[in-house]
Structure 1
C-alpha cells in the first residue's frame, strides 16, 4: 500500500493530523497508519481517503498489476474450493505471500479461504480461528463486509465438524439473521416479478453462499 502517497496528499492540502482524523478516528490511529505501523479498518481508511479526495484503490495503484493477478488467483482458488478440489486450494494458498497482500479486501479473501479450508480438512481450531480473527478483529472490526458473514459460516462448519452443535448453531443463526435482514421480504424475493432490482440483488447474495 502506497502510504507515502496518502501522506503527501494530506500535507499538500495543508491538513494536520488532528484535523484529518476529526470525526473519523483517533490521532493515534492515523499516526500509526502514516508511520506504516498499522492499517486501520476498511471503514476508517475509506473515510480518511475520501477526506483528501483519494480512494483505497488509489493507494494500491503502484501494485495494480500484481493486485489484479492476486485477485484472479484467489477467485480461482475460491472456485476450486466450491468444487471440493482441496489439494489444489492448499497448494495455491501455500504459494501466496501474505506480505504481498496490500489490499484489505485481498487480505480478507485470503484469510477467509485459508480459514475455511482449514475447517473443512479438520486443521487445529486455533489455526482456523487465527485466520478468521484477522478479519473479525482487525480487517473488518466493524463487521460491515460480506467476509464477516463468510467467517461465521466457516466457524459454524468448524464447530459442526468438531460435533459442538451449540457453537455451530450460534454462528449459523448469525448468518441466517443476516440473510433475513437483507431479503427483508421473502415473499417479494420469491415472487420475483414485483421488483427485478430487488430480485437480482438478493440472488447475488444467495449465490455468494
Structure 2
C-alpha cells in the first residue's frame, strides 16, 4: 500500500482543518506531518479514525502498487497471527481486488479473506474462498500458501464441528510441507506451524501439537525471532500437560507467561495464567 500524502493534505485543507485539529484525540500532529510529507502510513486504527473525521474512504488516499504488495500482505498476515482481527480487516479492505496484477497476489488476497471470514463465523464463505485459492489461483510454484490455505479450511471445519475432516486437512497440509518443498518467507513458516500446533491441540492430538510447536520454536531460534514464540510455548505447555508430562508442561507455560508479559499480550498472559493454575 502507498499513501498519497498530497491528496490527504488537500482533503484536510478543504475541510478547513489544521494538522493539530485533525490529530486531536487521535494521534500527534507529527503523525499528520509525516503522512503528508513522507507518505508515512500510520497504524490502521489511527488511519481509520482520521478518515472518519475527514469523512472519506481510506481508498481515496491509499493506492496499491506491485512493489509494496508483498509487504502489505505480510502485514495483514502478521495482524491475523497476532489476533488483531479488526486491524487486519481494515487493511484488507484497502486492497482493490481488480487492481491485483497476478495470480500470486490473488492467491494471497483470497487466503487472507478466508481467514478473516473464519474469525467472523462466515464458514461457508471462508471454505469457498479457500477452495478458490487451491483451484483457480494456485500458482505454478509450490509455495507455502498451499499449506496455509489447507490449514485455513481445517480451521473452518473444526469450528463447525467436523473434526475428522479438519484432521484430514491438517494431515494434508503437513504432507505438503514435508513432501513438496514449499517456498515461503520467514513470517509464513512461523505462522503455519503455530496454526498447525493450535489446531492439533483443538482436535485432541497433543503429541502432534507438540511436534508442530517444537518445529516452530526451532524456526524462531534459527531466525532469532520472538514472533509468536509465546503462543508456541503455550501450545507446547498444554500439549505436555495432556501427555501427563506435568513438570515440563508447567515449565513451558511459565516461559509462555514470561514471553507474553514481555511482548505485552494481555490475552496470552491471562490464558497462560489459567493454564498454570490448572497444571
Q: What is the TM-score normalised by the length of structure 2?
A: 0.41
Task: Check the 8 A contact 1:120/1:157 in 2, yes or no.
Answer: no
Query: How many residue pairs are counted as aligned between the two chains?
Result: 127
Deviation at 1:145, TM superposition (A): 2.8
- Unaligned runs of 5+ residues in structure 2 are 1-63, 193-279
Task: Check the 8 A contact 1:67/1:103 in 2, yes or no.
Answer: no
In the alignment, structure 1 residue 148 sits paired with structure 2 residue 146: yes
Identify the residue that residue 8 of structure 2 maps to in structure 1.
none
Identify the residue that residue 59 of structure 1 maps to in structure 2.
none
Find the aligned partners of 1:137 and 1:181 in 2 and give their Cα distance: 20
Find the aligned partners of 2:120 and 2:125 in 1 and give their Cα distance: 12
Deviation at 1:131, TM superposition (A): 1.4
Task: Check the 8 A contact 1:135/1:141 in 2, yes or no.
Answer: no
Question: Match of 2:65, SS?
Answer: helix
- Unaligned runs of 5+ residues in structure 1 are 1-64, 184-200
Per-residue displacement from partner, 1:134-169 (whole Å, max 9, x unpaired)? 211111177833222111100000111111101111
Higher Cα Rg, which structure? 2
Identify the residue that residue 98 of structure 2 maps to in structure 1.
99
Q: How does 1:187-198 map to 2 (within 5 A)?
A: none
Deviation at 1:104, TM superposition (A): 1.6
Find the aligned partners of 1:143 and 1:178 in 2 and give their Cα distance: 13
Q: What is the TM-score normalised by the length of structure 1?
A: 0.53
Deviation at 1:208, TM superposition (A): 4.8
Q: How does 1:1-209 map to 2 (within 5 A)?
A: 66-123=65-122, 125-140=123-138, 144-181=142-179, 206-209=189-192
Over 3 Å counting, the alpha-carbon distance change for 1:76 and 1:206 in structure 2 is: closer
Find the aligned partners of 1:96 and 1:204 in 2 and give their Cα distance: 20
Find the aligned partners of 1:115 and 1:205 in 2 and give their Cα distance: 16
Question: Match of 1:119, SS?
Answer: helix
Over 3 Å counting, the alpha-carbon distance change for 1:176 and 1:131 in structure 2 is: same
